[in-house]
């Protein structure tokens, strides 16, 4: 089966005064229909840029983006418009991603009107009622403005807008990070219900590892623009191999007070992806780093669908 999304060696560089910021640097992955790919990493690792480049909010510097097998990496005009109907985004902050001067109804109906798929106002209203029902917004909020709603409801509006045109692929950019625990669970359940009903394909970008484990089938770990490990979700948590993945997983505060984590505290901090040296970008913080780590690295298969980018993987 053709994966809904496949990217090959995708790169997105930004020019900055100090040189080139290699925000996304040679990332390849594919996501099958109805599945969720979780992308985790620390702030500044390029995970949001990756997602936004895939749905063509940024023009990729190089590499390919295949949507249902069709190359849309540099699509323009009608082809891009068609591709975008099929690729949508849910943003992190429901406080700033909704237009404060538009009512809920205006926000959700806008994509319906732009698409020209609906012939009359009545059809649009019907579709909108259906959307409200699907995401669980009471219809009395139809004419409300974003400031009249709490975070959970706003995020439901964001979701309604994203799924309005029945996209196949939805890029979820930290959709629950701004929400409280009790509301976060409501929104996560909604996303999973929608996926089941409409066979949606998600890319789920987050820094919250317990959330990503819960929702993803497959997880990719990013460090400074590159994938360091990608694996089925269960396998990654059971058998993390890259030193960075291990440190990341051990840093999660556990609510189990009787089994404290054996914590690996990383020294130093995420540096930047501006003019990086060749070789492993994690090496400066890695306790196992040797000279061989300064050679260029690549992902190697270590198990079924489990890839790691570390040249010392067999020694440590």
Partner 1 sequence: MDDNNVFLSVNDLVVEYTSDKKIIYAVNGVSLKLEKGKTLGLVGETGAGKTTIAKSILRILPDPPAKIKSGQCIVGGEDMMQKTEKEMLDIRGNKISMIFQDPMTALNPIMTVGEQIAEVIKLHDKSLNKKQAFAKAMDALEMVGIKAERGGEFPFQFSGGMKQRVVIAMALASNPELLLADEPTTALDVTIQAQILSMIKELQQRQNTSMLLITHDLGVVAETCDDTAVIYAGEIVESGSKEDIFDHPAHPYTIGLFAALPKLNEETDRLNPIKGMTPDPSELPEGCKFHPRCEFAEKKCKCEQIPMVEVSPGHFCRCCRVNELER
Q: Is 78 helix (H, G, I), strand (E, B) or coil?
A: helix
Least spacing, CB of residue 50 vs partner 1, in Å: 17
According to CB under 8 A, which one of 66, 144, 165, 270 is a site residue for partner 1? 270
- Identify residues 150-179 at the interface with partner 1 (CB under 8 A): 150-152
User: Rounded to 5 degrees, what are φ and ψ at 163?
Assistant: -95, 5
How wide is the angle at C-alpha 247 spanned by C-alphas 245 and 251, nearest 5°? Answer: 115
Least spacing, CB of residue 189 vs partner 1, in Å: 5
Name the one range near partner 1 by CB under 8 A: 24-32, 163-171, 250-258, 287-295.
250-258
Number of CB atoms found within 10 A of residue 302's CB: 18
213 versus 312: smaller Cβ distance to partner 1: 213
Least spacing, CB of residue 10 vs partner 1, in Å: 24
User: Rounded to 5 degrees, what are φ and ψ at 205?
Assistant: -95, 125
Q: Does 269 bind partner 1 (CB under 8 A)?
A: yes
Q: Which residues contact 22 (CB under 8 A, 6 or more apart)?
A: 11, 13, 224, 225, 273, 274, 276
Q: Is 16 helix (H, G, I), strand (E, B) or coil?
A: strand
According to CB under 8 A, which one of 17, 78, 147, 256 is a site residue for partner 1? 256
143 versus 252: smaller Cβ distance to partner 1: 252
DSSP 274: B
Is residue 73 within 8 A of residue 44, CB to CB? The reply is no
Total site size for partner 1, rule CB under 8 A = 38
Q: At what angle do helices 181-198 and 121-135 cross, to 10 degrees?
A: 120
Binding mask 198-237 for partner 1 (x = CB under 8 A): ---------x-xxx-xx----------------------x
Chain residues binding partner 1 by CB under 8 A are 42-43, 150-152, 180-186, 188-189, 192, 207, 209-211, 213-214, 237, 247-248, 250-257, 260, 263, 265-266, 269-270
């Amino acid at each position: 089966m053709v994966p809904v999304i496949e990217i090959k060696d995708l790169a997105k560089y930004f020019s900055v005064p100090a040189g080139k910021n290699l925000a996304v640097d040679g990332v390849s992955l594919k996501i099958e229909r109805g599945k969720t790919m979780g992308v985790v990493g620390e702030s500044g690792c390029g995970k949001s840029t990756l997602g936004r480049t895939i749905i063509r909010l940024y023009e990729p510097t190089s590499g390919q983006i295949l949507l249902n097998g069709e190359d849309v990496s540099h699509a323009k005009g009608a082809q891009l418009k068609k591709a975008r109907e099929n690729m949508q985004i849910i943003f992190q902050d429901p406080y700033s991603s909704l237009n404060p001067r538009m009512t809920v109804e205006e926000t959700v109906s806008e994509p319906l009107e732009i698409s020209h798929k609906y012939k009359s106002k009545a059809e649009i209203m019907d579709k909108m009622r259906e959307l409200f029902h699907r995401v669980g917004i009471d219809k009395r909020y139809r004419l409300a403005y974003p400031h009249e709603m709490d975070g959970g409801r706003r995020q439901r509006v964001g979701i309604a807008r994203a799924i309005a045109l029945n996209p196949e692929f939805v890029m979820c950019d930290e959709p629950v990070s701004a929400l409280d625990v009790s509301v976060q669970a409501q929104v996560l359940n909604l996303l999973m219900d929608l996926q089941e009903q409409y066979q949606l394909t998600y890319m789920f970008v987050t820094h919250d590892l317990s959330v990503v484990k819960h929702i993803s089938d497959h997880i990719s770990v990013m460090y400074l623009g590159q994938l360091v490990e990608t694996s089925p979700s269960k396998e990654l948590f059971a058998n993390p191999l890259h030193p960075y993945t291990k440190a990341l997983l051990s840093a999660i505060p556990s609510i189990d007070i009787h089994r404290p984590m054996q914590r690996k505290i990383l020294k130093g901090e995420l540096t930047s992806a501006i003019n990086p040296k060749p070789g492993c970008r994690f090496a400066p913080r890695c306790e196992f780093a040797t000279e061989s780590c300064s050679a260029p690295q690549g992902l190697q298969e270590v198990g079924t669908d489990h890839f790691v980018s570390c040249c010392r993987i067999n020694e440590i």
